[in-house]
């Protein structure tokens, strides 16, 4: 699924209007119907609803939603802000439709269940109470500057209330992409956002969660011309994208044809990282796994991962010496290896001499962060899997997630490498600058060792001859899916990384199912 900019969304709207064909008013009616239906699914007709509508098309959506909820016997109070006598044409049409609906209801029943207040100068705000549902239709994707003045005051008033807030398309005041220079306390804090057709880039940044809340995409059948005008670097991965990527196993497959991977992991006292990564690797379809680890880990590794072969380092306590990896189909390095001087030197020697596809994670990323010049020695198309702190070692700290993403894209393109920014909606950044946000995973996966599990999955897929980009996208999706399956049975709080490994077989099965 594409993630389009605000400018591109206008192109898609215009293209749909011309080629469906459909009038802009009827397209607004379709979007509003989708929002109204979603509200009716979640809230009963005895919920007090207060709608704040702006003068533009987002306000037109809100007025149409008010009429539709009124038709469904909801009690609705609407506040239309028209302080400059400049409603957009579609907003004006929906204002008149709402007035006509009020008159019909008044004549038929002698009562109005929709009350419209048009604000042209002074505004006396209604009392917003717990149990009220506020629908935010002040401003949508067309906003290009921070809110100020009276609208900022309205936003602050809504945010200070105990009411539940639903935003139509985007929370008012939030820019679709870059909010670096926005006034953040002038943005609606929605509990729910019902966004039209496409997710917005800003939804994927953690600092915007407090504004967006729980978001859902409403498909209204917009038509994408598929031209350069709607080409984008940003995408949102869904299950239907992943299913075709998963290879079918030959009936004649054996361990020699399903890949031989090598995992460099674990120093003394950190065998757990190696075990989690190794188990995940073996649970992801790999034929053979060799683990390079110090002698201090031999007994626990052989007891914990009996399926793996050990390659024992000359140092009893850490990874200290590079070795020949020519017999392997893929390599991963980093989980629990530490950052001793011996390990630091062995790391750069190993990375420089290895020719097969590789994953660099955990302590290996910390080493790179402390020796940033070594990034230039990384082979093209290798995979880096940092969490936020490890990423800052590579690109330095940033003002916000948008800047962080753009700097990561620059690094990936410059070095021709893949970088995975781990977290909610993990972002996969490719050497061409494309970004794929992942749709699986949950807060229960915020637990020690989850990243080690992911490294093992990706390593396994690389060794099975998946292309690096496919291995990364598929691995991240399966990792999150296994976590979702585990959390559904065990709860977020009860989830540990071993559970993710244990649910990997079920995750593969879910993707295999028609």
Confidence grade of residue 513 (pLDDT, cut at 50, 70, 90): confident
Predicted confidence (pLDDT) per residue in 147-175, tens digit: 999 999 999 999 999 999 999 999 999 99
Q: End-to-end distance of the chain based on CA atoms, in angstroms?
A: 20
Whole-angstrom CA distances from 167 to 188, 195, 295, 336 are 8, 8, 58, 44
H/E element, 497 = helix 497-502
What is the 8-class DSSP label of residue 446?
-
pLDDT at residue 514 greater than cutoff 70: no
Q: What percent of the chain has pLDDT over 90?
A: 97
Predicted confidence (pLDDT) per residue in 81-99, tens digit: 999 999 999 999 999 999 9
Predicted confidence (pLDDT) per residue in 248-260, tens digit: 999 999 999 999 9
Whole-angstrom CA distances from 383 to 257, 296, 357, 421 are 23, 28, 8, 11
One-character DSSP codes across 90-118: HHHHHHHHHHHHHHHHHHHHS--SEEEEE
pLDDT at residue 352 greater than cutoff 70: yes
191 phi/psi in degrees, rounded to 5:
-80, -30
Confidence at residue 106, expressed as pLDDT on a 0 to 100 scale: 63
Predicted confidence (pLDDT) per residue in 396-413, tens digit: 999 999 999 999 999 999
Longest dimension (CA), the chain: 91
Confidence at residue 102, expressed as pLDDT on a 0 to 100 scale: 87
* Spatial separation of the C-alpha atoms in residues 66 and 54, rounded to whole Å: 13
Torsion from C-alpha of 227, 228, 233, 239, nearest 10 degrees: 10
Confidence at residue 109, expressed as pLDDT on a 0 to 100 scale: 60
**Which structure tokens are listed for 437?**
């946000």
Which of 88, 32, 79, 29 minimizes the C-alpha distance to 55?
A: 88
Which of 105, 123, 43, 114 minimizes the C-alpha distance to 78?
A: 114
The stretch 62-89 carries a mean pLDDT of 96
pLDDT at residue 433 greater than cutoff 80: yes
pLDDT at residue 107 greater than cutoff 90: no
The mean of the pLDDT values for the chain is 97
* Spatial separation of the C-alpha atoms in residues 492 and 476, rounded to whole Å: 19
Cβ-proximal residues to 324 (8 Å cutoff; 6+ apart), any chain = none
* Spatial separation of the C-alpha atoms in residues 66 and 262, rounded to whole Å: 61
- CB of 199 within 8 A of CB of 427? no
The stretch 328-351 carries a mean pLDDT of 98
pLDDT at residue 489 greater than cutoff 70: yes
pLDDT at residue 108 greater than cutoff 80: no
Q: What is the chain's length? A: 514
The stretch 435-448 carries a mean pLDDT of 98
3-state secondary structure of 492: coil
pLDDT at residue 110 greater than cutoff 70: no
- CB of 426 within 8 A of CB of 441? yes
Query: What does DSSP say about strands 427-429 and 260-264: parallel, antiparallel, or unpaired?
Result: unpaired
The stretch 443-462 carries a mean pLDDT of 98
pLDDT at residue 30 greater than cutoff 80: yes
What are the chain's domains?
Answer: 6-231 (3.40.50.10260), 240-512 (3.40.1190.20)
Confidence at residue 400, expressed as pLDDT on a 0 to 100 scale: 97
Instruction: Note the pTM of the prediction, 2 decimals.
Output: 0.96
Instruction: Round the CA-based radius of gyration of the chain to a whole number and report it.
Output: 27
333 bridge partner residues: 264, 360
């Amino acid at each position: 699924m594409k993630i389009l900019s605000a400018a591109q969304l206008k192109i898609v709207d215009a293209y749909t209007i011309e080629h469906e064909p459909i009038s802009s008013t009827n397209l607004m009616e379709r979007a509003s119907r989708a929002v109204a239906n979603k509200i009716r699914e979640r809230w009963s007709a005895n919920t007090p609803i207060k709608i704040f509508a702006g003068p533009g098309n987002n306000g037109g959506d809100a007025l149409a939603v008010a009429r539709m909820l009124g038709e469904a016997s909801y009690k609705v109070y609407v506040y239309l802000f028209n302080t400059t006598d400049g409603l957009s044409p579609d907003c004006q049409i929906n204002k008149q439709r709402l007035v006509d609906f009020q008159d019909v209801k008044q004549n038929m029943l002698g009562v109005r269940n929709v009350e419209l207040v048009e604000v042209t100068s002074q505004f006396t705000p209604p009392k917003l109470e717990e149990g009220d549902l506020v629908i935010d239709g002040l401003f949508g994707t067309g906003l290009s500057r921070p809110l100020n003045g009276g609208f900022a005051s309205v936003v602050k008033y809504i945010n200070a209330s105990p009411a539940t807030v639903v935003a139509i398309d985007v929370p008012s005041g939030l820019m679709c992409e870059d909010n670096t220079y926005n006034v953040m306390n002038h943005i609606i804090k929605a509990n729910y956002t019902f966004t039209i057709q496409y997710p917005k880039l800003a939804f994927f940044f953690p600092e915007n969660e407090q504004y967006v809340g729980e978001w859902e995409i409403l498909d209204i059948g917009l038509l994408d011309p598929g031209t350069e005008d709607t080409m984008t670097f940003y995408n949102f991965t869904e299950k239907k994208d992943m299913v075709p990527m998963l290879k079918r196993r030959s009936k004649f497959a054996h361990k020699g044809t399903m890949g031989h991977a090598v995992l460099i992991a674990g120093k003394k006292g950190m065998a757990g990282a190696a075990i989690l990564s190794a188990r995940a690797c073996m649970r992801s379809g790999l034929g053979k796994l060799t683990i390079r680890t110090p002698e201090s880990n031999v007994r626990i590794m052989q007891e914990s991962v009996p399926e793996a072969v050990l390659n024992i380092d000359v140092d009893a306590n850490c990874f200290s010496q590079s070795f020949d990896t020519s017999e392997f189909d893929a390599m991963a390095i980093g989980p629990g290896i530490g950052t001793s001087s011996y390990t630091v030197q062995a790391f750069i020697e190993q990375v420089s001499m290895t020719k097969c596809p590789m994953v660099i994670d955990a302590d290996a990323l910390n080493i790179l962060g402390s020796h940033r010049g070594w990034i230039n020695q990384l082979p093209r198309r290798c995979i880096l899997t940092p969490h936020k702190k490890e990423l800052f070692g590579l690109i330095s700290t940033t003002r916000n997630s948008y800047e962080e993403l753009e700097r990561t894209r620059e690094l990936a393109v410059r070095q021709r490498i893949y970088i995975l920014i781990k977290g909610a909606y993990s972002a996969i950044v490719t050497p061409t600058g494309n970004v794929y946000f992942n749709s699986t995973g949950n807060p229960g996966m915020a637990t020690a060792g989850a990243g080690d599990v992911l490294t093992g999955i990706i390593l396994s897929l690389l060794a099975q001859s998946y292309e690096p980009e496919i291995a990364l996208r598929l691995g991240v999706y399966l990792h999150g899916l296994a976590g979702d399956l585990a959390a559904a049975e065990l709860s977020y709080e009860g989830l540990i990384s071993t559970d993710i490994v244990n649910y990997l077989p079920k995750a593969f099965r879910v993707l295999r199912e028609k």
